[in-house]
Structure 1
Amino acid sequence: MKELIHKKVVVFLIGVLVGLSSLRTEPASGLKPYKIKSDLSNVSNLKEFADAIRYYGRDFSLTEEQRKKLVENGFVVIPSEAQQFFHIYESPHFGITPRIPNFITTDCVLHIYHLLYDFSLRAVEVEKLLPALRDLTIAMFEKSLELYERAKSSRLREACRRNVIFFGVAASLLKFEDLPLPKECASSVENELRNIREHKGRKKSSIFPFGHDYSQYKVRGHYTRSEELSRFFLAMTWYGQNAFPFTLKSESTDGNITAIQAMIMSWLLFNSEANKRRLVDLWDEIYSITSLYVGSSDDLNPHDLYELIVEVYGENVDIDSFIDDDKLKAFLRKARNLRKPRIVTELVGLPEGVQFRFMGKRYILDSYVLQRLSKWPHRPFPRGLDVMAVLGSRRAEEILDRVFLEPDKWKDYPSIRQKLKEEFSRLDEREWYKTLFSGWLYVIKALLKEWDDRYPSFMRNVAWTDKELNTSLASWVELRHDVVLYGKPSGAEGGDGGQKIPQPKGYVEPVPEFYRRLLKLVKLNAKILRRYNCLTERLDALFKRYEDLVTFLKIASEKELKGEILSYDEFERIRYIGNALEELSTSLIEIGLNLPSLDWKNGNLVYGNPVHLRGWFEVMGPDRDMACIVDVHTSEDECLEEAVGHANTIYVVVPIGDKLYLTRGAVFSYYEFKYPVSHRLTDEAWQEMIERWRAPDPPPWTASFLAH
């Protein structure tokens, strides 16, 4: 029984990874270095490029700073107000044929994977997990109430009373009304609900002997998009935030009530049913697929506790025996030898050591890094760059040490960071792909290198290394945004073109190993959804279209690195990348718009009339804007916000055959700043800040490639 759910996951993943194994892609040397003349006179398509821009009623002109960076680095990034990548890449609207040569960036490709991951997760949460959570919660409330009403011992009765409150709060968050709450429980439930609604920060809890960070109940991420997602967020946060620590009675302030509560919860899960299903099966249904998307909890779960209960108390245990002092002490001693959480939120007054959570927040690699590399009062806030440094970016280390002078703030910082680097470097590919979350980190890890002479000249400088660092950080932001609930804290269609014009020569960012890893990740994602019967025909088709796109980019980039000129059809595909990005984005948002609502009274899912978007012009709400934000770390009254803004424009001079061509593409903008925990930012609030020109400046190190 031990780690049963984890074993099922591991067995499944082994089968998946065997089927996905493929050779790593290393580039062959076939490119000659090149230099760009200061007047751009050796850029062969400069006139055609300017004419193409002029076709849209604008002049192509660069400031002195922009031209200097383009000449020196082979590329330059210019701020933009584009709300989507495809707003920079041309789409063939109204019969207009794209004529500006495109540079397809890893940024825009990663953004589409973010949409696939995010919208497939939304569908799983609404259609599968929310109904299971609802059934599980009301059953646990009713069973806890039954035990409370028949409990005789004062300690047992108090543990049951607190469990009634605990599940009463969760049931209320899931819109169960008129709960039969005993008078001695009702005020505590209302007090907790009030604190959750206000989400103002740390306050004393009604049912735990320690404080609680109610600011975490600010609904954010994609959970603001519907009532179903919002209530799912609140209930799951309640289950994940509350810890039940294990201490010996002599050390306990409440007679080990929290430990007895956890024992009762675990016992109920394995010995109760709802609608002819064991409650533990409902728990597993919620936990298993989310553990593959995000990761497992590093706190003790009901499987861990129930095995220990059987070991100490026997198979046919009665909960009355849970308060037997000798057996309880034996149980607590054994429990304290079980795994301790690797991510510990070091805030005054919060429990430490071994603890149980009903549905714990998940252990994720980056939170582990951020926690280890923060220390009050020397370095209370880590940086996103810490994650990139541990993933292998020497440039991130250089910026941390020389720009931000982090080693001067905390003498142990360099040695701890080095140990983390060594720890992560020992992970093999199979370990990275244990979850989609860590697999995503492994994909962006492929960008965190210094590019040698096998790559084109525009990639072989510090500015490009910084650009890739910016890409990786922004993609990490989108990843954390998608899993904000689970991560443990610290008009017209595209046409076939109009008049015929000369084919513009585009380019793919040539990183074959990145595309190989990404292709493996997206196939794993589809297999996980298929395994849990969550891969609809529509979603399957979108995954296949994306796989096909990534496969093309891998093949094209391999050809580019060999110095081969792409075929006419391959150049055409690059030419129409804006259309591909727009169609994928619109189709995924359409999936979100067609998710069912929940009849909160009887628990049935209700599907409305199908929504069919005729084009991007019909997309409304926060998903229309790519800007998103997530808080990843808390210290005292502030949190660390990591954000993606609007897409910026990148101009790149690329080698095609024996000529140089100017191309245009789109890249991420990235932000990092502190903000009050009482006002943790939502996507909507962040988008408004950008709209009102209140966004902070980008990090100073981005000046190497960003020019105004």
Structure 2
Amino acid sequence: MKKILVVIFCISILLVGCNKDRDVDTENQKPTIAEDETDHNEQPANDEKKDISDTTKDRQDHNDGTDEMNNEQEESEQIKEEPYVMQLNKEWAGKEPILRKMTELIIPPYEAKVKPYTIAKDLSNIENIDQFSGFTNEQINMLVKNGFVVLPSRSTRMHYVYDTNEYKGVPNFITADSVLHTYHQFYSKSLINIESAFLYEDLDLLTKQMLEKSVMLLNELEDEDLQELQKKNIVYFLVARMLIMNTSEISAEVEAELLNTAKDEYALIEKAEGFVKSPLYQFDFDYSQFKVRGHYTRSEELGRYFKTMMWFGTAPLPLMDAEGNMNNDNTLQALLVSFTTFLDSKKTCDAELWANIYLPTAQYVGLSDDINVFVMNELRKEVYGGSEDPNIFNDAEYVDKLYEAVKALPDPKIAADLKSLDTPTEKQFRYMGQRYILDSYVMQTLIDSILRPIPSALDTMGVMGSDVAKDLIFNHYKPQDNWPEYEERFNELKNEISGYTLETWGNNLYNGWLWSIDETLTEYGKTSGMPYFMTTDAWKYKSLNAALGSYTELKHDTVLYGKQSVAEMGGSIEYADYHYVEPNVPLYSKLLYLTDYTIKVLEDRGMMSDAMKNGAMEYKELLELLITCSIKELRNETLTEEEYRSLLWYGGIIEGISLNFLNGITSDYGALDLTDMLVTDISTFPGAYLSLGTGYFDEIYVVIPVEDKLYLSRGAVYSHYEFVSSTRLTDEEWWELQGIRINREEYGDYPEFIEPSEALPKQPFWVENFKADTNEVEITELEVNWDNLSEE
């Protein structure tokens, strides 16, 4: 069983292929993990097992036959037996994953000793205050008391604020929000690129071959019970094939009843209306999950990929019930699916195709906590020994051993809390299950189907260490009043997560992004040596807002893969001389670390385009600059003229980085980059969905200390929304709620600005601690000093 546990928790590297048609560039094969980097906590495999190591593959070969494959998608398909021999692929059936080790994170040493300063009640000691007009008395009081104020704007991208600053001569305030937002651009665009340029083709071939081999295996089975179970597997892969083809009208040499069942499933997926009895599984299944959203609305191809992967990720075969009884039929069915995956194929081995899809996305989002095909393959070998005959799967002599093996498999960490629905929540097999993610584990632990069915993103922030989030939870929302157990669970989770090390946070990019967000939640006291504005209570709320804004982008980018918690229910001639970086050395260091690792992941797999790499390298340079400037600011050291000049161009820099990421995508996705506002659902309860959104990017005015003087600077921050929706919203639907309609014309897409909808949710009440309702501020451009120009 130890080998099986290794498989469940340690799949994190790309498997070496068995493609008979692809040429592998052996000269460029570079394992990304050495033998001495293997996790020594794992049990060693048997000598006859082969470790699977990460290799650099020639991705050009991946496109061989692409035109032929695309042509096949436009035609009805006939299931043919000739290409296959019903035997296991020897190379793949004997492979076992190992765990990739992460490098250590290095945060440069720094000391915070910013000199104290006070702000005059009339703002008269701010050197450039005459450049600004229109602040209300309330906003002036917020500037004096807090050292900053956030005002609403109509900016659809963060860099717009900085572009205007450059033109108006306003000092830039480089926010953590804008730096996190730029990492989101890299994460999102690089994920889109690997999905559309690489994974889509593997998924297309996988669904085709698995359907063909499932039909052939039916003809090889002698046991009548196994035959009936295999028919269900045929339906399963018929549905997958229909989803990737975007039509139920495919021709297959199968019984009409099977084809009709698959069509019924496909119809329910297309409606995507919520919990309905599944024609295949005969239990309640949440079809609303198949509403295409996130970045997958940007093209038909991405939409097909989304629905097919959602089917592979959510359609379950429960192996055990709540009483500890094994579901024999489902277990045998899962064994047959796994066996089929490891059978030889005419083209690429399906086990390799599975790994090509699962492992890169696992490095982005993490591993599934459900049982998958590699786990079942190990279980098959343990229970049935060296036999490769599927006809023995149902033999009575193996029943007890099979039960013990299934019983020993771990339960999922994220299991839905459902009472009135018969959706399975126990240990289950999913072909390519959605991934275990830390925040969903937190929210699932902190919900109760009766007493607290609706969680909050504040749960995650509070457990991760935000005192202000904890205060909002326990002193305003008060879930413990209805559900006393909440407080005990909250404290247990907080203690558990506080003990996480790099081994957990560095396990994948999703965890790493959460780990970076955690740095924005650090709260500073009056004697911390940090700038005055960062020591105020208002800044704690602003930082929580920044964390939630970035968290929303993380959830949006991974809406397909992350398992949700479920319960019922041009410039000016004269420029500003000084600029300021929100000093957060640990945050920028972690983002630099993540960027380096993302580059390595993409390059190892041959998935890094030149434009994407250019953007990533520019982002790294920016982060290195921000680290240097932050350390200098905290030491009261003056930035160099070159550093100030780089900060002056900040708007253009982050715009250029984002454009490189966009250009790094191999396909044109229309409205992909018309606005950076987005929405995502993060938790499910029948008929309603907990949703997060980012609206127009707000403006933040901050009083900054430079060379013993004070200046008023401006930057961009997130506007955060959390609300319950009756439907899973797409970005396009969210934009319209915000007052942006996308018009699609032959010559291109363009946004039309209209009045926000009355149905637009309100922001949470606590943003009033740092944000005003109106923005009537006007800025006078700096006058050109012609004498200075003539002297130059």
TM-score normalised according to structure 1 size: 0.90
- Counterpart of 2:594, as a letter, is L
Task: Indicate conservation of the 8 Å contact 2:211/2:241, yes or no.
Answer: yes
- Corresponding residue for residue 236 of structure 2: 166
Shift of the 527–39 alpha-carbon distance from structure 1 to 2, 3 Å rule, reads same
Q: Give secondary structure in 1 for the equivalent of 2:162.
A: coil
Q: Which residue of 1 aligns with 2:728?
A: 680
Q: Which of 355, 378, 393 is the matching residue for 1:322?
A: 393
Alignment partner of 1:666: what SS?
Answer: strand
Query: Deviation of residue 158 (structure 1)?
Result: 1.2
CA deviation string 1:246-278 (max 9, x = no partner): 14899889x732221110011112223241x32
Deviation, 1:513, is 1.1
1:583 aligns with 2:621: no
Contact 2:174/2:580 (<8 A) preserved: yes
- Give the equivalent residue in structure 2 for 1:476: 551
Distance 1:375 1:358 in 2: 28
Question: Does residue 641 of structure 1 match 2:713?
Answer: no
Question: d(CA) in 2 for partners of 1:83 and 1:327?
Answer: 62
What corresponds to 1:344 in structure 2?
A: 415
Supply the AA of the counterpart residue of 1:100.
V
2:486 to 410, 413, 422: 413
TM-superposition CA deviations, 1:315-373 (whole Å, max 9, x none) = 22311111223413421332121111000012231213221110000000000001001
Match of 1:660 in 2: 710
Shift of 1:532: 0.8
CA distance in 1, matches of 2:102, 2:678: 34
Would you say how many aligned residue pairs link Structure 1 and Structure 2?
662
**How far, CA to CA, are the matches of 2:710 and 2:323 in structure 1?**
76
Spell out the pairing of 1:10-409 with structure 2 (5 A cutoff): 12=32, 20-47=103-130, 49-50=131-132, 60-90=133-163, 97=167, 99-175=169-245, 177-247=250-320, 256-275=328-347, 277-347=348-418, 348-409=421-482
Contact 2:102 2:506 in 1 (8 A): no
SS of the aligned residue for 1:621 comes to helix
2:693–2:722: 8 Å Cα contact kept in structure 1?
yes
Q: Could you say what the CA RMSD is over the residues aligned between the two structures, in angstroms?
A: 2.3
The answer (yes or no) to whether the contact 1:248–1:329 under 8 Å persists in 2 is no
- Assess if the C-alpha contact under 8 Å between 2:272 and 2:287 holds in 1: yes
3-state DSSP of counterpart to 1:189: helix
Distance in 2, matches of 1:7 and 1:248, equals: 26
Greater CA drift, 289-298 or 530-539: 530-539
Where 1:336 maps in the other structure, the secondary structure is helix
SS at match of 2:772: coil
Which of 741, 756, 763 aligns to 1:693? It is 756
| Greater CA drift, 152-161 or 340-349 | 152-161
Residue 460 (str. 1) matches residue 535 (str. 2) = yes
Q: Which has the higher helix share?
A: 1
**Pair 1:352–1:333, CA change in 2 (3 A):** farther
**Residues 98 and 576 in structure 1, CA contact (< 8 A), matched pair in contact too:** no
Corresponding position of 2:97: none
In the alignment, the residues of structure 2 paired with residue 159 and residue 251 of structure 1 have an alpha-carbon distance, to the nearest angstrom, of 22
How far apart are the structure 1 equivalents of 2:367 and 2:481?
A: 35
The normalised TM-score by structure 2 is 0.80
Instruction: Give runs of aligned pairs for residues 555-570 of structure 1, distance below 5 A.
Output: 555-570=628-643
Amino acid at match of 1:40: L
Q: Go from structure 1 to structure 2 and tell me whether the alpha carbon gap of 1:77 and 1:248 turns closer, same or farther (over 3 Å shift).
A: closer
> What residue number does 1:532 align with?
605
Number of the residue aligned with 2:625: 552
How far has the Cα of 1:314 moved from its partner?
A: 1.8
How far did 1:572 drift?
1.2
**1:70–1:369 CA distance, 2 compared to 1 (3 A):** same
Q: Report the Cα distance in structure 1 between the residues aligned to 2:442 and 2:216, rounded to whole angstroms.
A: 44
Aligned pair in 2 of structure 1 residues 212, 5: CA closer, same or farther (>3 Å)? closer
Closer, same or farther: CA 685–572 of 1 in aligned 2, 3 Å: same
Structure 1 Cα separation of the partners of residues 436 and 323 of structure 2? 31
**Deviates further, 24-33 or 101-110:** 24-33
Q: 1:5·1:284 contact (CA, 8 Å) conserved in 2?
A: no
Unaligned stretches of 5+ in structure 1?
Answer: 51-59, 596-610, 612-618
Structure-2 separation of matches of 1:249 and 1:109: 46
Contact 1:248 1:256 in 2 (8 A): no
Q: Please, which moves more after superposition, 480-489 or 686-695?
A: 686-695
Aligned to 2:769: 704
Q: Which runs of 5+ in 2 are unaligned?
A: 14-30, 39-53, 55-99, 740-754, 774-792
**Worse-matched range after superposition: 286-295 or 326-335:** 326-335
* Greater RCO, 1 or 2 (C-alpha within 8 Å, sep 6+): 1
Does the CA contact (< 8 Å) of 1:559 and 1:566 recur in 2? yes
Residues 104 and 508, structure 1, Cα contact 8 Å, conserved in 2: yes
Question: Helix, strand or coil for the counterpart of 1:44?
Answer: coil
Q: For the structure 1 residues 204 and 325, does the alpha-carbon distance in structure 2 shift closer, same or farther, using more than 3 Å as the test?
A: farther
Superposed displacement of residue 97, structure 1: 4.7
